[in-house]
């Protein structure tokens, strides 16, 4: 937890030493659940029951994903640190409506808030410490655990409180020595609560458009009065204003659209937002389309974004160069509207098929395979890394990100964009399917299979196996007499 927190802190600090608030629209309960799943193994190691419950709600709200990580991970770190073996930590999240009378002074306007509570039955905090714990430089020393460990508490509750305040929220702490500690924080989640410069126009986990029979694109649409922030994000790069306007008219019903007039500005946009598709002209000032394409497809952070090149040269050499540099498609000018729409539909469909290939039909025998795209090669390299480290109980998102020469945040976004699930879930799914394969051989005990797939605790392995396949490992072994498998 400390390593994760320190990494995020280093990324988010500005020159002034403050954290920059950048909220985007997404499903916060998915983020919170992923974080809790990452922490669960630590609870098992310490014999502390970690449980969590979040209201089932698919509604997207506005929040800063990285600040949420820092806040929740450090509160959980403190709870686990000061809860003895045999104890429990419970996390709960829900949306609440707060009126002015419910809010402390200097809070944003009333409205919808996230309420997140973290409760433990640990050693508790003395009342004198509670009154000062959010003061800078104050350090509680009256607890047994504190005397035994002088390593500190990550970034500390004082800075956690400041980060919550940065997110325009507030925190409440209650505790009784030897009984419990309860931390509750509230964060506003409506767009109206944030300044324009605090809004990040991309979604933390963009949803790929599901395959439809048609794109349902209106040929001559009227401009929408309101942007649908759940739509995928399209970047159009062309110095011809008429072409930009035409493409906008074609796609504005099905995409949120950002435009740039040259490859240089387009590259800045591509690296700062999370695009689902890029349509780029070949001939442009400052940076031409081919140079832009090379920059995108050689940058691991954004190489997964499909790029369609528009060209008016009708040159076979130029088309070959585009394909050699991994263009996903190219269209000659002047182009047919219907042809372009169908090309886009097929690219979106192929991305959806890629998700299915590497999630629902995950291959647990990673051999050298012929792959057709950079995305497939990237995912296959991650599978090979997982297989190489299958015995390592410390296998984590951080390790895979480091091996891929990416920051954790960049790696996380790329994996979610390609697979529509978090990398931690992908790792666990692979390990469990590998475990099922080993159990099928009949040569190993369940505990041996657990250790050979990187689970230090057979009990936790059984819990994960049951959750993944719907039956326990022992039940699965018994079921091997029939041809039915759990996946």
In percent, how much of the chain has pLDDT > 70? 77
Q: What percent of the chain has pLDDT over 90?
A: 12
150 pLDDT above the threshold of 50: no
Average pLDDT over every residue of 114-141: 77
How far is 197 from 304, CA to CA, in rounded Å?
27
**Which CATH number, 3.20.20.80, 1.10.3720.10, 3.30.565.10, 3.40.50.10540, labels domain 2-197?**
3.30.565.10
Q: Summarize pLDDT for 362-416 with one digit per residue, the tens.
A: 555 544 445 456 777 888 888 888 888 888 877 888 888 888 887 777 788 788 7
Q: What is the pTM of this model?
A: 0.43
* Edge-first strand listing for the sheet containing 233-237: 256-260, 233-237, 277-281, 307-311, 329-332
Domain 374-479 has what CATH class? Answer: mainly alpha
Q: Read off the pLDDT band of 297 (50, 70, 90).
A: confident
Q: 198-246, pLDDT tens digit by residue?
A: 787 543 333 333 333 333 333 333 333 334 567 888 899 998 888 888 8
Q: What is the mean pLDDT of the chain?
A: 77
pLDDT for residue 90: 96
Report whether pLDDT(145) > 80.
no
Give me the residue spans of the domains in the chain.
Answer: 2-197, 204-348, 374-479
* Cα 35 from chain centre: 10
pLDDT at residue 300 above 80? no
Residue 153 has pLDDT above 90, yes or no: no
Q: What is the CATH number of domain 204-348?
A: 3.40.50.2300
With a cut of 80, say whether residue 50 has pLDDT above it.
yes
Contacts of 15 (CB under 8 A, 6+ apart): none
- The DSSP secondary-structure symbol of 102 reads G
Give the model's pLDDT for residue 264.
87
Give the tokens for residue 322. Answer: 């585009």
- The larger pLDDT score, comparing residue 141 to residue 157, is at 157
Question: Looking at beta carbons, which pairs linking 452-456 to residues 24 or more positions away fall under 8 Å?
Answer: 452/390, 452/391, 453/390, 453/391, 454/389, 454/390, 454/391, 454/392, 454/393, 454/395, 455/393, 455/431, 456/41, 456/44, 456/45, 456/393
């Amino acid at each position: 937890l400390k390593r994760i927190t320190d990494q995020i802190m280093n990324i988010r600090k500005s020159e002034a030493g403050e954290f920059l608030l950048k909220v985007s629209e997404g499903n916060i309960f998915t983020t919170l659940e992923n974080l809790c799943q990452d922490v669960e193994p630590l609870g098992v190691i310490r014999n502390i029951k970690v449980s969590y419950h979040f209201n089932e709600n698919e509604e997207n709200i506005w929040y800063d994903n990285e600040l949420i990580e820092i806040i929740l991970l450090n509160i959980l770190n403190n709870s686990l640190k000061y809860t003895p073996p045999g104890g429990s930590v419970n996390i709960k999240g829900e949306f609440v409506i707060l009126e002015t009378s419910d809010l402390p002074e200097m809070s944003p306007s009333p409205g919808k808030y996230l309420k997140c509570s973290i409760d433990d039955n640990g050693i508790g905090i003395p009342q004198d410490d509670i009154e000062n714990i959010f003061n800078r430089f104050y350090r509680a020393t009256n607890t047994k655990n504190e005397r035994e460990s002088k390593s500190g508490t990550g970034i500390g509750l004082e800075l956690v409180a400041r980060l919550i305040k940065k997110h325009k929220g507030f925190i409440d702490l209650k505790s009784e020595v030897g009984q419990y500690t309860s931390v509750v924080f509230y964060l506003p989640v409506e767009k109206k609560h944030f300044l324009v410069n605090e809004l990040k126009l991309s979604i933390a986990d963009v949803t790929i458009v599901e395959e439809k029979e048609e794109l349902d694109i209106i040929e001559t649409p009227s401009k929408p009065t309101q942007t649908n922030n759940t739509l995928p994000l399209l970047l159009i790069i062309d110095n011809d204003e008429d072409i930009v306007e035409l493409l906008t008219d074609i796609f504005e019903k099905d995409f949120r659209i950002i435009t740039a007039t040259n490859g240089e500005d387009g590259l800045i946009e591509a690296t700062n937002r999370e695009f689902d598709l890029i349509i780029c002209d070949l001939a442009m000032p400052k940076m031409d389309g081919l140079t832009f394409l090379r920059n995108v497809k050689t940058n691991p952070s954004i190489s997964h974004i499909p790029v369609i090149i528009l060209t008016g040269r009708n040159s076979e050499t130029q088309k070959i160069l585009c394909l050699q540099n991994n263009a996903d498609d190219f269209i000659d000018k002047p182009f047919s509207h219907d042809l372009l729409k169908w090309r886009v539909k097929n690219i979106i469909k192929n991305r959806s098929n890629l998700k299915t290939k590497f999630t629902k039909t995950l291959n647990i025998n990673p051999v050298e395979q012929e792959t057709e795209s950079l995305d497939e090669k990237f995912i296959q390299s991650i599978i090979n890394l997982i297989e190489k480290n299958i015995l390592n109980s410390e296998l984590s998102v951080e390790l895979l990100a480091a091996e891929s020469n990416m920051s954790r945040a960049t790696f996380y976004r790329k994996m979610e964009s390609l697979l529509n699930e978090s990398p931690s879930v992908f790792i666990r799914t692979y390990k469990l399917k590998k475990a099922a394969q080993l159990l099928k051989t009949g040569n190993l005990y369940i505990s041996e299979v657990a250790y050979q797939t990187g689970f230090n605790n057979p009990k936790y392995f059984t819990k994960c196996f049951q959750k993944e396949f719907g039956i326990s490992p022992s039940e699965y072994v018994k079921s091997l007499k029939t041809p039915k498998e759990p996946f």
